[in-house]
Amino acid sequence: MAYALILLASVAILGEEDDWYPSKYGADDTLGAINNLSPELVVEAARLVKLGKTYPLGVVTGRETPAYPPRTFSITVLQGGDGTGKSIGTNRATGNDDLMFTWVGIGSQIDGLGHMGIDHVYYNGLKAEDIVAPTGLKELSTDKLPPIVSRGVLIDMTRYFETSMLEEGTAYNGKEIEEQATDQGIEIRKGDVVLFYTGWINLTGVDNERLMSAAPGLGMDGAQYLADKGVVAIGSDTWGLEVVPSENPTEVFPVHPYLLAKQGIYILENMDVRDLVKDEGWEFMFVLGQPRFEGSVQAVINPVAIR
């Protein structure tokens, strides 16, 4: 009898684990929440542009950029393409090429839907054995994403917690997000790109060890709250978006697979929103055209906020 109860409980748990696919966007979908974008939303976002002011949201990716270990970056400049530096033609033309050896997830980045899954199952039930190869992802790669152009909103969590920088391990969830958004006069809508400011980015170059060892961030309830709103992407000024350590000490990065695999919502990391915060630019046109490296899991990005 006890065994039967355990078996039934196990079946129930497995059912709960599997009920996140097929996706609500269709059994064959590979784009996730990008389906919530539309030409109408692009037009609405364009109407937010009143000042003609642009804000680059990306940080510089370089040798000294703090990165999740063991990620590293290097670049080599070659004169003349072959390294000889010889002039060519009667006009003595010269030039430079560059060669990079880098992990893609360094600096400001977008996590594609193939970045994190649950026990080797990714968005819409796609299995690693079917889509992952050493030469690149066969599905869910970031080169297949269309431009992400929509309304962006910025929520300043330092105002909610009344501090210049949230402490590591500080989670913000649905209650905190809703209250702070209301205080800023923001309504989170379907198709939005939602960005958070925690002040954590200010540790960059000051205390990189502390910066990368933990972080304040989005909790699971907050992720569910935003998913229910129908947002396309969620980002922050931290290296991993979600709170570290996790709210549940037995879990590791639980928000990532929930957003990416279960909800098809994209994650934006290391978003430098400080100038937007200074200008109280809580609402803006968000524009992202990611590099189209075939088979890529992530992409280094420099999205632009326009007001």
Give yes or no for a contact between 136 and 296, defined as CB atoms under 8 angstroms apart. Answer: yes
Give yes or no for a contact between 140 and 112, defined as CB atoms under 8 angstroms apart. Answer: yes
Beta pairing class for 266-269 and 233-236: parallel
- Residue 32 has a pLDDT of 99
Q: What is the arithmetic mean of pLDDT over 187-197? A: 99
Q: What is the arithmetic mean of pLDDT over 161-174? A: 99
The yes-or-no verdict on residue 174 having pLDDT over 90 is yes
Structure tokens that stand for 137 in this block: 């992802």
The percent of residues in the chain predicted with pLDDT above 90, rounded, is: 91
Structure tokens that stand for 61 in this block: 């990716």
Structure tokens that stand for 201 in this block: 């980015």
Specify the length of the chain in residues.
Answer: 307
What is the C-alpha to C-alpha distance for residues 223 and 245, in angstroms, rounded to an integer? 16
The yes-or-no verdict on residue 301 having pLDDT over 70 is yes
**Residues 119-134: tens digit of each pLDDT:** 999 999 999 999 999 9
Q: What amino acid is encoded at 107 in this protein?
A: G
CA atoms 276, 279, 281, 287: torsion sign: negative
pTM metric for this prediction: 0.93
Show me where the domains of the chain are located: 25-61+104-306, 73-102
Q: How is residue 140 annotated by DSSP?
A: S
What is the C-alpha to C-alpha distance for residues 163 and 173, in angstroms, rounded to an integer? 17
Per-residue confidence band for 18, with pLDDT thresholds at 50, 70 and 90: low
Give yes or no for a contact between 15 and 118, defined as CB atoms under 8 angstroms apart. Answer: no
Architecture of domain 25-61+104-306: 3-Layer(bba) Sandwich (3.50)
- Residue 82 has a pLDDT of 74
The yes-or-no verdict on residue 17 having pLDDT over 80 is no
